[in-house]
Amino acid sequence: MTRRGFTVWLTGLSGAGKTTIAELLEGDLAQRGHVVERLDGDVVRAHLSSGLGFSKADRDQNIDRIGWLASRFTRLGAAVVVSAISPYTEARQRARARVEEYGPFLEVFVDTPLDECARRDVKGLYAQARAGSIPRFTGVSDPYEPPRAPALRIATAGQGPRASAGRVLDLLAARGLL
């Protein structure tokens, strides 16, 4: 059976929990028989987008590349799970337009407050950004434009990643995509 492809697009600050939620979703969706492609900002930047930095133009190009890939995999019937800061509304909208040529695009805002991301500081980057040694760090010295009308907003404070992934699965089920 060929299934209808779709893209779940997780946006939020660095350290918000996007990758962790995306990894859980990848397993959940595979278990339900979906062909899953997970596109993570850090991973794409290590390969396809190596050489890009964090200027607005470079971030836009990175997100355009991820959006294009997501649309191609959606076309093939895959469940695509994107996790990238994707700080700019317009770039996310371009990704949506591309994907929607082939299937649903579900924007999920992983809404972890800046202070919480900086407190966790999983990669130690907030401390460096606040000390001024990483320029243009999202939320510290570079903008993050929160989605105005996401399909789902996940407030991760007080909720573990398993529960967050569950909320995305509920959304997919409600849309008839599971």
Residues in contact with ligand ADX by CB under 6 A are 14, 41-42, 45, 54, 59, 62-63, 84-87, 123, 125, 134, 136-138, 142
Q: 55 an active-site residue?
A: no
How many Cα atoms are found within 13 Å in the side-chain-facing hemisphere of 90? 5
Spatial separation of the C-alpha atoms in residues 70 and 2, rounded to whole Å: 17
Nearer to ligand ADX, 39 or 165 (CB): 39
Within its chain, how far is the Cα of 110 from the centroid? 8
User: In the bound complex, which residue of the shown chain has the CB atom lying closest to ligand ADX?
Assistant: 41
Quote the tokens at residue 96.
């949506």
Nearer to ligand ADX, 49 or 177 (CB): 49
Nearer to ligand ADX, 112 or 138 (CB): 138
Residue 80 and residue 74 in contact, taking contact as beta carbons nearer than 8 Å = yes
Spatial separation of the C-alpha atoms in residues 39 and 129, rounded to whole Å: 25
Burial of 99 (0-12, 13-18, 19+ CB in 10 A): buried
Nearer to ligand ADX, 39 or 79 (CB): 39
Residues with Cβ within 8 Å of residue 6, at least 6 apart in sequence: 74, 79, 80, 103, 104, 105, 106, 172, 177
Supply the minimum distance, in Å, between the C-beta of residue 35 and ligand ADX. Answer: 23
Supply the minimum distance, in Å, between the C-beta of residue 23 and ligand ADX. Answer: 14
Given the residues 49, 86, 133, 164, the one annotated as active site: 86
Question: Cα Rg for the chain, rounded, in angstroms?
Answer: 16
Supply the minimum distance, in Å, between the C-beta of residue 77 and ligand ADX. Answer: 25
Supply the minimum distance, in Å, between the C-beta of residue 93 and ligand ADX. Answer: 14
Residues acting as catalytic residues: 86
